[in-house]
Chains A and B, each alone.
Chain A
Amino acid sequence: DQQVKQNSPSLSVQEGRISILNCDYTNSMFDYFLWYKKYPAEGPTFLISISSIKDKNEDGRFTVFLNKSAKHLSLHIVPSQPGDSAVYFCAASARWDNQGGKLIFGQGTELSVKP
């Protein structure tokens, strides 16, 4: 049972435009959400996160939106740059003291930003 889903395996965007990556989850116990960026044959790097008490978190060109009623989050990258081309994973976690910080990952979306 896939608790975190990224239904778009790939996304292609023109440089300078907005990239929107989507993620859906099923477990209402999740209270913290993260986005990671991954290049081939490398480990993921942490990008941005959001707590369930917020609906938006912004860091430079990256903004994460959380819609708890829809169990949906999205990552907006604006403006998109060719260096943003990578696989993006969303991840979710429930209470740390209960779950030990376990992250449940989506399948990933491969973003390609074309010059």
Chain B
Amino acid sequence: DGGITQSPKYLFRKEGQNVTLSCEQNLNHDAMYWYRQDPGQGLRLIYYSQIVNDFQKGDIAEGYSVSREKKESFPLTVTSAQKNPTAFYLCASGQGGSYEQYFGPGTRLTVT
């Protein structure tokens, strides 16, 4: 059963701590993406990766970091430098050359 998994569903952290969000896909997709959604706003791109060991900054990369060591995995680290980390984070994947992206269930991160 192919799909994208994100864990955990809910995550709570204290301000000043780094936190890593997991994203795994078994769709054999080349490209993977991280977005965040804030209330009343659309999805904004944080980072994306077209192939293993390569990734590019999206529109709001400051305070975030990623790695792409395996095709199946694209973890996102929210660092203490991110000014407003509380948000709903969505991971997506897509086949190379295709515009359709398929999303995971999301992780809601709350930082207090």
Contact = CB atoms under 8 A, between A and B. Distances in A.
A106 B41 CA distance: 8
Contact of A103 (B6, B40, B45, B88): B45
B43 A42 contact: no
A91 B99 CA distance: 10
B63 interface: no
A60 interface: no
Contact of A105 (B44, B48, B50, B98): B44
Given A96-B98, A102-B48, A107 B42 contact: yes
A36 B92 CA distance: 13
Most buried by B among A4, A34, A43, A102: A43
A9 interface: yes
Most buried by B among A9, A34, A36, A100: A100
Contacts of B45: 102-104
A41 B106 contact: yes
Given A101-B48, A102-B45, A105-B43, A43 B106 contact: yes
- Interface secondary structure of B, over-half rule: strand
Interface of A: 4, 6, 9, 32, 34, 36, 41-46, 49, 89, 91, 93, 96-97, 100-108
Given A43-B105, A101-B94, A107-B42, 18 more contacts: A34-B99, A34-B100, A43-B90, A44-B103, A46-B100, A46-B101, A91-B43, A96-B99, A100-B31, A101-B33, A101-B96, A101-B101, A102-B58, A103-B33, A103-B45, A103-B99, A105-B42, A106-B42
